[in-house]
Structure 1
Amino acid sequence: MLPALFIAHGAPLLAIEDNEYTQFLSQLGKQLPKPKAIVLFSAHWESNVQQVSSIDEYSTIYDFGAFSEELFRIQYPAKGSAEVTKEIQKLFKQHDVSFAIDGSRGLDHGAWVVLRLLYPNADIPVVSMSINRHLSPEEQYQVGKTLACLREKDVLVIGSGGTVHNLRALNWSDNGEVDDWALEFDEWLATRLENWDVESLFNYSSQAPGAQLAVPPYGNEHFVPLFYAMGAADNEKSANLLHRSYRYGNLSHSVWQFGS
């Protein structure tokens, strides 16, 4: 059985950088058993109805600006998986999850930056999934839980976002120091994840220290993929922090493994 993963995709520059985090993700891709397919929930695909991609070959979306021209030359031509898309449709129908099929959208940088670091050859089929930040954390968790059985079929479930992601609070000088509030939030989160304390996690916005800075009121879209990935391991209820580092004072690069 494959685990579910929550992976921070950081800034788009990760796609061309060689640092502690990019090296970790490259090694992680080599260490994991090779998946039959990947189901990925990206913070950068938001919709009010759950979207499930049905794509033969993905285009590469450059959903950012003012970065190196080198980034805009990157291609990640992953194939889709009709088999896994059909299986997801079946599971959603069984569990009364409303959804729609998308046959045109490419992979945004929340997807391809992570996938390219893990699997640079783009040789693993992908089913891209939207997130709905207006759902409650419990509802997001339940969507992920619906897909837990896919892990038994060698499908890797990934939530791509960031536990601490507040662009208005970044320190672009990046002097190596980490803001206390970011550390406090991530430490609170780690304790609740490791204890699978879903009651506290579902109420993180009122219980976690620094929550209003780490997950700002104007946007929680980078945090909520955590619940989709976590739900996909509800049958095991185990969490393991594989990596954590920071850029720009508080932008977290966290990787959580859920299940085994």
Structure 2
Amino acid sequence: MVPALFVAHGAPTLVLEENQYTKMLKGLADRLPEPRAIVLFSAHWEAPVQMVSAVEEYEMIYDFYGFPEEMYKIVYPAKGNKDLAQKIVKLLEESGTDSKVDAERGIDHGAWVVLRLMYPDARVPVVVLSVNPALSPAEQYYIGRALAPLRKEGVMIIGSGGTVHNLHRLNWNSLEKEKWAATFDDWLQAKIEMWDTDSLFRYETEAPYGREAVPRNEHFIPLLLAMGAADDGRKADLLHREYQHGSLSLCCWKFE
């Protein structure tokens, strides 16, 4: 059975960077079973209903501004999987979650930054899914749990976002991690490793610096979705954690 992953995608330029985090991501595929397909929840696709992509081949979405010109020349030729998209819709329906198929949207940087680092040859077909910030943390988790059976069929489920993601608190000149960001992630790590979903679902009020770390939940949601997809095993391994610009968390979790 392939694991579920939560992968922080950082800033879009992560895809071009050489650091310990990108080194880990570039070698991660060699440490994991080869998936027959990937289902990826992207923090950069928000929708009020669960959207499921169903395209033959994705067009690129450069959903960022003011970055180096080379960023807008990157092409990741990801293929879709329409049959898998329909199976996802069925699993969500069986769990009581409404969903819609999208046959036009391209692939945003929340997805292609992660995938290009992990699978640079785009050999694994991908179905990208949206996130709905209006749902409760428990509801997010249950959506991930609804897709758990796919892992037994060789489908890797990835949540792409960020645990500490407050762009207003970034210190662009800092090479040291901010204490408040690390304190939040320490709390998060303890609760994840205990699989304490009750506390995780109340992170906004229980976690130290919860509101500073997660001013909006769209980047945090993919963590809960990925965890839900491993509810049957409830084993969590923190593969990497570091920070950019003081508080932008770059972490990767494996769930089995």
- CA displacement, residues 219-250 of structure 1 (integer Å, 9 cap, x when unaligned): 21111111111100011111110100110000
Contact 1:179 1:249 in 2 (8 A): yes
Read off the aligned partner of 1:82 and give its amino acid letter.
Answer: K
- CA displacement, residues 81-135 of structure 1 (integer Å, 9 cap, x when unaligned): 1221121122112112100100011110000000000000011100000000110
Once residues 239 and 15 of structure 1 are traced to their aligned partners in structure 2, the CA distance between those partners, rounded to angstroms, is 25
Read off the aligned partner of 1:178 and give its amino acid letter.
Answer: K
Say yes or no: does 1:206 pair with 2:196: no
**Secondary structure in structure 2 of the residue aligned to 1:38:** strand
Say yes or no: does 1:66 pair with 2:66: yes
Say yes or no: does 1:238 pair with 2:235: yes
Deviation at 1:70, TM superposition (A): 0.5
**Secondary structure in structure 2 of the residue aligned to 1:193:** helix
Runs of 4 or more above 4 Å deviation: none
Aligned to 1:84: 84
Aligned to 1:229: 226
Read off the aligned partner of 1:87 and give its amino acid letter.
Answer: K
Read off the aligned partner of 1:194 and give its amino acid letter.
Answer: E
Once residues 18 and 207 of structure 2 are traced to their aligned partners in structure 1, the CA distance between those partners, rounded to angstroms, is 33
Once residues 49 and 83 of structure 2 are traced to their aligned partners in structure 1, the CA distance between those partners, rounded to angstroms, is 21
**Secondary structure in structure 2 of the residue aligned to 1:220:** coil
Deviation at 1:30, TM superposition (A): 2.0
Say yes or no: does 1:190 pair with 2:215: no
**Secondary structure in structure 2 of the residue aligned to 1:42:** strand
Deviation at 1:18, TM superposition (A): 1.1
**Secondary structure in structure 2 of the residue aligned to 1:185:** helix
Structure 2 gap segments, 5+ residues each: none
Aligned to 1:156: 156
Q: RMSD over aligned Cα, in angstroms?
A: 0.7
TM-score by length of structure 2 reads 0.99
**Secondary structure in structure 2 of the residue aligned to 1:151:** helix
Q: Among residues 245, 248, 252, which one is paired with 1:248 in the alignment?
A: 245
Contact 1:43 1:130 in 2 (8 A): yes
Identity of aligned residues (%): 55
Contact 1:143 1:231 in 2 (8 A): yes
Once residues 238 and 32 of structure 1 are traced to their aligned partners in structure 2, the CA distance between those partners, rounded to angstroms, is 15
**Secondary structure in structure 1 of the residue aligned to 2:242:** strand
- CA displacement, residues 189-248 of structure 1 (integer Å, 9 cap, x when unaligned): 0000000000000000000001111001xx211111111111000111111101001100
Deviation at 1:32, TM superposition (A): 1.3
Contact 1:30 1:118 in 2 (8 A): no
Aligned to 1:118: 118
Read off the aligned partner of 1:252 and give its amino acid letter.
Answer: S
Deviation at 1:19, TM superposition (A): 1.1
Aligned to 1:2: 2
Say yes or no: does 1:144 pair with 2:144: yes
Aligned to 1:36: 36
